[in-house]
Amino acid sequence: MKLAELSERSGVSTATIKYYLREGLLPPGRRVTATRSAYDDSHLQRLRLVRALIQVGRVPVATAREVLAALEDDSLDHHHRLGIAVGALPGAAEPDPGAPAADLARHTVDALLSRLNWREGAHACGPGSPAYGTLVDAVGALVRLNYPCAVDDLLPYARAAAELAVTDLDLVERYDSPDAQVEAAVALTVLYEPVLLSLRRIAEARESGRRFTSG
């Protein structure tokens, strides 16, 4: 497959594909001659994943590169590859680096994870993981704005998250090879986020209608 064909089939402009190649988001094609390379279906698949990460997941290009690197790191076992790849995904932008109310937030998050007995799993739970940091930041924002975020307030969200994780991993286990599973885990984590958030808003509107309208 030539570059132009890859572009046509993926709907991504050749300029952008060249850019992704330059940035290392897409492995170079097989060199046919000095000025020509051939691409295959794996490039097409990877290109689609990159678009999903960047366009749907709003993952910065630099971060996407890390995620993809973890995806291909054969030196790691299945669980660790998955943890690193998903862990490299970004969360919300962090707030002011100054630490106003961050202590309370951290304490709340720690109490929540303890309550759930989520402390022992080292990966992506520990204070070093991105998800943990994002969670502390998010709770910190709630604290600063005086919105409820006690452990008891957060618990229902954690329970929902636990159920969602089971569903997610069930989807992942539909894939056969470990490689496909890791890629699916990354893609589904990112791609189901807008699904979940939209459904939540729709459900909120329904629930609001149920509570606040007469008739």
Which residues of the chain form contacts with DNA (CB under 7 A)? 2-5, 13-16, 18-19, 21-22, 28-29, 32-37, 54-55, 59-62
Nearer CB in complex with DNA: 54/88: 54
Nearer CB in complex with DNA: 60/91: 60
Applying the rule CB under 8 A, the residues between 129 and 158 that interact with its own copies are 129, 131-132, 134-135, 137-139, 141-142, 144-145, 147-149, 153-154, 156-158
Expressed in angstroms, the distance from the first to the final Cα of the chain is 60
Which of DNA, its own copies, none lies near 206, with the C-beta cut-off 5 to 8 A by kind?
its own copies
Residue type, 95: P
Residues with Cβ within 8 Å of residue 206, at least 6 apart in sequence: none
Least separation in angstroms between residue 213's CB and DNA is: 33
Applying the rule CB under 8 A, the residues between 20 and 39 that interact with its own copies are none
d(CA 152, CA 115): 10
Least separation in angstroms between residue 36's CB and its own copies is: 27
Instruction: Tokens for 199, please give them.
Output: 């459904």
**Selection from 140, 167, 160 nearest residue 200 by Cα:** 160
Can you say whether residue 117 is alpha, beta or left, with left for phi > 0 and alpha for psi between -120 and 50 degrees?
Answer: left
Candidate ranges 22-30, 32-40, 61-69, 166-174; the one touching its own copies (CB under 8 A): 166-174
Applying the rule CB under 8 A, the residues between 80 and 99 that interact with its own copies are 82-83, 86-87, 89, 91-93, 95-96, 98
Looking from the CA of 92 toward its CB, the CA atoms found within 13 Å total 11
* Sign of torsion over alpha carbons 176, 177, 178, 183: negative
The C-alpha angle with vertex 211 and arms to 154 and 192, in degrees rounded to 5, equals 50
Beta strands (DSSP E) in the chain are 30-33, 36-38
Cβ neighbours around 148 below 10 Å, total: 9
Which of DNA, its own copies, none lies near 212, with the C-beta cut-off 5 to 8 A by kind?
its own copies
Beta strand 36-38 with 30-33 is antiparallel
Least separation in angstroms between residue 162's CB and DNA is: 31
Which of DNA, its own copies, none lies near 15, with the C-beta cut-off 5 to 8 A by kind?
DNA
Applying the rule CB under 8 A, the residues between 40 and 69 that interact with its own copies are 48-49, 51-52, 55-58
Least separation in angstroms between residue 71's CB and its own copies is: 14
Least separation in angstroms between residue 31's CB and its own copies is: 28
